[in-house]
Copies of this chain bind each other. A is one copy, B any other.
Amino acid sequence: MNIYRYEENPLITPEDVKPFHEGFEVIGAFNAGIAKYKDEILMLLRVAERPRSEQPNIVKAPIYNPATQAVDLVEFRTDDVRYDFSDPRVIRDVTQSAGFAYLTSLSYIRIARSKDGRRFTIDDKPFVYPSNPLEAFGVEDPRVTQIGDTYYIYFSVVSPVGIGESMVSTQDFVKVTHHGMIFCPDNKDVLIFPEKINGKYYALHRPTVKSIGSPEIWIAESDNLLHWGNHKHLLGLREGMWDGGRIGGGAVPFRTDKGWLELYHGATKEHRYCMGAVLLDLNDPSNVLARSGKPILEPDAGYEKNGFFGDVVFSCGALVEGDVVKIYYGVADTSMACAELSLQEIMDGLI
């Protein structure tokens, strides 16, 4: 696989982003949804901000408070044995089986704009910011599906009651309409197809299951993009391969003459995140035709291997121009990068 990583990579780093919250630092500007709007390429950045702490033995958890519309801080001492601080992203309650109790940063969505797709200017203010109790711990990992003149933007919302997927829409990236939670907890990595197929909308989604099963990709259908059903299991883990630990949708699926191509992320059990592709039937995307034997993109460059959470390439959006697939992707849960790949080479690697 020939991979052309942009010379400008990383395109955006946390240092490029001015904190929105006083007393906070930006620790991530990553996992951006991608849109073409007028003559610009937009990155809908996930910006993660962390409260500055002068005392190394204090960890602060930021929580959006819908009543006051401000961010509250909960402080923890790192020697508090009731909590586990070993993962820098989260605070775990050692008495609970749940994955985490608090996040150490608050994420929201901010737009970066570019004419050439390489040099971006970042908006001063958030574009989508937490606004209700289901978003108290932040909004993460946006994707953008354009249907006609409308851009549907959907993202993980995190709160004490779960992680689900909510959606907004816009026609101008200024005025935003909220549509509520479209996939209930535990779910993330939703990808809505850009057109109806045989009269139905389709979406990929990634339930995080507790009773039985693994973090794998499902598909659902809808008449109106708001309500989803006829859920089917689509794609499973492959033991011992690059996608043997967890998988989830990545970029918005795009049409090729062979089928719908979805660029998805796969991680090993050791949390090394790569990107690969899966080809779905043009007339029935619940039918899997082929998938990448090897990753199409894997952590290699320094900015991909090292960061807040290293060894991660994670795409939420790509642009396709003829044979050129421009994969925009978050690196190491820290920054944004872009690489160009050949569509034909991606197709040739499907097994």
Interface residues of A, Cβ cutoff 8 Å to B: 98-101, 133-134, 137, 158-164, 179-187, 205, 207-214, 216, 218, 220-224, 226-233, 236
Contact = CB atoms under 8 A, between A and B. Distances in A.
A221 B183 CA distance: 12
Contacts of A207: 162, 184-186
Contacts of A216: 161
A231 B184 contact: yes
A231 B181 contact: yes
Contacts of A222: 227
B227 A163 contact: no
Nearest to A165: B231
A59 to B, nearest CB: 17
6 contacts: A98-B210, A100-B211, A162-B209, A163-B209, A180-B231, A180-B232
Contact of A184 (B179, B205, B214, B226): B205
A229 B228 CA distance: 6
A199 B161 CA distance: 28
A163 B211 contact: yes
Counting chain B CB atoms within 10 Å of each CB, which of A99, A211, A230 scores highest?
A: A211
A275 B64 CA distance: 35
Contacts of A161: 209, 212-214, 216, 233, 236
Nearest to A92: B212
A214 B186 CA distance: 11
A118 B75 CA distance: 58
Q: Which one of A163, A180, A213, A216 has the highest number of Cβ atoms from chain B below 10 Å of its Cβ?
A: A213
Contact of A98 (B137, B162, B212): B212
Contacts of A101: 212
A148 B222 CA distance: 24
A162 B212 contact: yes
A209 B101 CA distance: 13
Residue of A185, A222, A233 ringed by the most chain B CB atoms within 10 A: A185
A199 B8 CA distance: 52
A266 to B, nearest CB: 17
Contacts of A230: 179-182, 226-227
A141 to B, nearest CB: 13
A137 B134 CA distance: 33
Given A161-B216, A223-B223, A210 B180 contact: no
Nearest to A224: B223
A164 B212 CA distance: 11
A104 to B, nearest CB: 14
Nearest to A230: B180
B232 A181 contact: yes
Contacts of A210: 98-99, 186, 208-210
Contacts of A226: 229-230
Which 7 A/B pairs are nearest by Cβ-Cβ distance? A227-B227, A227-B229, A210-B210, A184-B231, A162-B213, A180-B230, A99-B211
Contacts of A223: 223-224, 227
Contacts of A228: 227-229
Of residues A98, A158, A216, which shows the largest number of chain B Cβ atoms within 10 Å of its Cβ? A98
Contacts of A137: 212
B182 A229 contact: yes
A175 to B, nearest CB: 20
A291 B301 CA distance: 57
